[in-house]
Amino acid sequence: MKFEKEINRRKTFAIISHPDAGKTTLTEKFLLFGGAIQTAGAVKSNKIKKHATSDFMEIERQRGISVATSVMTFEYKNFLINLLDTPGHKDFAEDTYRTLTAVDSVILVVDSVNGVEDQTRRLMEVCRMRDTPVIVFINKLDRDGKNRFDLLEEIEKELQITLHPMTWPINSGKDFKGVYNIHNKSLRLFSANTKAEDDDTIAIEDLSNELLDKKIGERDANQLREDAELIEGVYGQLNENEYLKGKVAPVFFGSAVNNFGVKEMLETFTTIAPIPLCRNTNSREVCPGEDKFSGFIFKIHANLDPKHRDRIAFMRVCSGRFERNKYYHHVRIDKDVRFSNPYSFLARSKDTIDDAYPGDVIGLFDTGNFKIGDTLTEGENFYFTGIPTFSPEIFKELVNKDPMKTKQLEKGIQQLTDEGVAQLFTQFGGNKKIIGCVGELQFEVIQYRLLQEYGAACEFRPLPFYKACWLTSKDEKKLEEFLRFKQQNSGEDKDGNPIYLAQSEWFLNTEITNNPDITFHFTSEVHK
């Protein structure tokens, strides 16, 4: 296999969770271990001016939440790790869904106090669609949470995945004493408000050792012996193949804010997580070790640096070697393009790179050529599949509040919808611009960014639509006829594909029944 050494040392994964489960904090601890940052940012505190390393947009710093996926690359024990920190907020789920197409595995953070939450379920559904390998980190053990056996049962039942505990906590909340590593038979002791050091780790090959009673007390030592016996009896050894197939999820317990239990997970992750894998295209399977380069765009971010009005397209390298200043074929527009300043990222800071290998996520300076899902190759015409756009759930009309800034508004909304934060539809029989989003918060972000970045003031008027469906038909005439009769409820997306805007589930089902020659699609992938 060509570039075997480079491919084998790469691990590309996303951290996903419900909001506030501690995802961004965990990301920072990984970066600290990799030596990529020296101090962790204070994510929630407004008094402290350092914010989370991975939250770079102004609106994120104001609200203390992540609303855009950020990419970080760091080295750990000779592995090159590409980490994608995703937004937890459900209103930005689509950004997260697309990010999951660019990674080889996932770490799912579960809050031990709240257990499985709505967003956790949704994200796991997307992982299951692709059989993505998952490691679970149960966080906030320093708080009083659910019983750990109950929690495991809840996760297995709710997320329909088999768990395999790799570490086991000794109590929780104010009685939290540490974590026992079932895998390598060692105990790490916890003391509140201090960071975990290697000195805190005690090797205990045999749990009957009296040292255990001395360190954590007789009652907790006996409880740990009982728990460990039960776990080893039920779970046995981890089957790594089952993990790689997405059937079994190793579980780690800890407290990210105290940097506790994180190292054990990072050590296991680097050992068992998959290296870059083969991917499907519309014509064949593309594997990392191929001679020729290929990659796809899964995210676009405008104005990463507001001073320079730049647009960065995030690309996942899938095969071959990407080289700076070399011409590559942009399949959709059938044009050759080259990049003089490709970047690797550490949140807001970016470094120019000369080359990249499968698994790497790099930033390409974009002058408006890219859309999400675009493929670059060394000449071959194919595109990577499985990067869908989902039907939005909330629809609003975009209203210009300043006619003098019409051009700025047009440009701004085109660029922001290219990023995938929302979808833009134009209604037939008029020129009404309709914005479709998954959640209300996205409209706030769009309004804020249009004003801050483009100087365009706008407002949104709610529209009574329930779903947008993409339409296809073998009978062009039937489709034209349908669109003419349903002018009030039809339009096109920004690529000119016809859509139907249904007012309710009943209307949608009626139209599907009445128009057997027309297919109603709930994702846009059909048109790619």
Model confidence at 211, in pLDDT bands (50, 70, 90)? Answer: confident
Confidence of residue 56 (pLDDT cuts 50, 70, 90): very low
In a domain, 196, yes or no: no
Is residue 408 a contact partner of residue 451, using CB atoms and an 8 Å limit?
A: no
For residues 169 and 257, state if they share a domain.
yes
Could you tell me which residue, 502 or 64, shows the higher pLDDT? 502
184 within domain boundaries? no
Give pLDDT, residue 500: 93
Domain end marker among 224, 247, 272: 272
Pair (366, 432) in one structural domain: no
CATH code at 471? Answer: 3.30.70.3280
Instruction: Please give the average per-residue pLDDT across 459-487, as a whole number.
Output: 92
405 with 330, same domain: the answer is no
Nearest C-alpha neighbor of 70 from the set 55, 58, 81:
55
- Grouping H, G, I as helix, E, B as strand and the rest as coil, residue 410 is helix
Judgement on whether residues 314 and 449 belong to the same structural domain of the protein: no
- On whether both 343 and 453 belong to a single domain, the answer is no
Q: Are 200 and 188 in contact (CB under 8 A)?
A: yes
- pLDDT for 179 equals 83
Q: pLDDT tier at 53 (50, 70, 90 boundaries)?
A: very low
Q: CATH no. for residue 169?
A: 3.40.50.300
Query: Residue 1: what pLDDT?
Result: 63
Q: What's the gap between Cα 272 and its chain centre?
A: 20
**Same domain? 242 vs 340:** no
Residue 194 counted as domain residue: no
Q: What are 351-392's pLDDT values in tens digits?
A: 788 899 999 988 888 877 888 889 999 989 998 987 767 778
Mean pLDDT of the 168-185 span: 80
Q: Tens digits of per-residue pLDDT, 477-487? A: 999 999 988 88
Could you tell me if 295 and 422 lie in one domain?
A: no
Q: Is the model's pLDDT at 281 over the cut of 60? A: yes
Angle at the Cα of 169 from the Cα atoms of 166 and 170, rounded to 5 degrees? 145
In terms of pTM, does the model score above 0.75? yes
Residue 217, pLDDT above cutoff 60 = yes
Question: Which pLDDT tens digit goes with each residue over 121-132?
Answer: 877 877 887 889
Radius of gyration of the chain (CA): 25
Which of 66-70, 424-428, 499-503 shows the lowest per-residue confidence on average (mean pLDDT)? 66-70
- The per-residue pLDDT for 363 is 86
pLDDT tier for residue 43 given thresholds of 50, 70 and 90: very low
Range of the domain at 400: 394-527
Is the pLDDT at 434 greater than 90? The verdict is: yes
Domain count, the chain: 3
Mean local confidence (pLDDT), 149-175: 88
Task: Look at residue 258 and tell me if it is in a domain.
Answer: yes
Question: What is the mean predicted confidence (pLDDT) over 106-128?
Answer: 84
Residue 192 inside a domain? The answer is no
Measure Cα distances from 186 to 181, 194, 203, 405 in Å: 5, 19, 4, 64
Rounded mean pLDDT, 23-27: 81
Residue 462 in tokens: 């709610």
Residues 455, 447: contact at Cβ < 8 Å? no
Question: What's the pLDDT at 309?
Answer: 57
In a shared domain, residues 425 and 353: no
Query: Same structural domain for residues 139 and 37?
Result: yes
pLDDT (mean) for 43-66: 43
Q: Does residue 184 contact residue 268 with C-beta atoms inside 8 Å?
A: no
415 shares a domain with 339: no
pLDDT recorded at residue 290: 92
- Model confidence at 49: pLDDT above 50: no
Measured in whole angstroms, how far is the alpha carbon of residue 158 from the centre of its chain? Answer: 20
Asked whether residue 342 falls in the same domain as residue 254, the answer is no
Please state which of the ranges 88-102, 210-224, 473-487 shows the lowest mean pLDDT.
88-102
What pLDDT score was predicted for residue 287?
A: 93
From residue 51, how far is each of 37, 59, 63, 498 by CA, in Å?
A: 13, 12, 11, 43
Structure tokens belonging to residue 351:
């470094």
Does residue 260 sit in the same domain as residue 342?
no
Determine, yes or no, domain membership for 190.
no
Q: Taking residues 197-209, what's their average pLDDT?
A: 64
Q: Tell me, what's the pLDDT at 50?
A: 39
Size of the chain in residues? 528
Mean pLDDT is lowest, of 121-130, 188-197, 328-337, 402-411, for: 188-197
Q: Read off φ and ψ for residue 192, nearest 5 degrees.
A: -55, 145
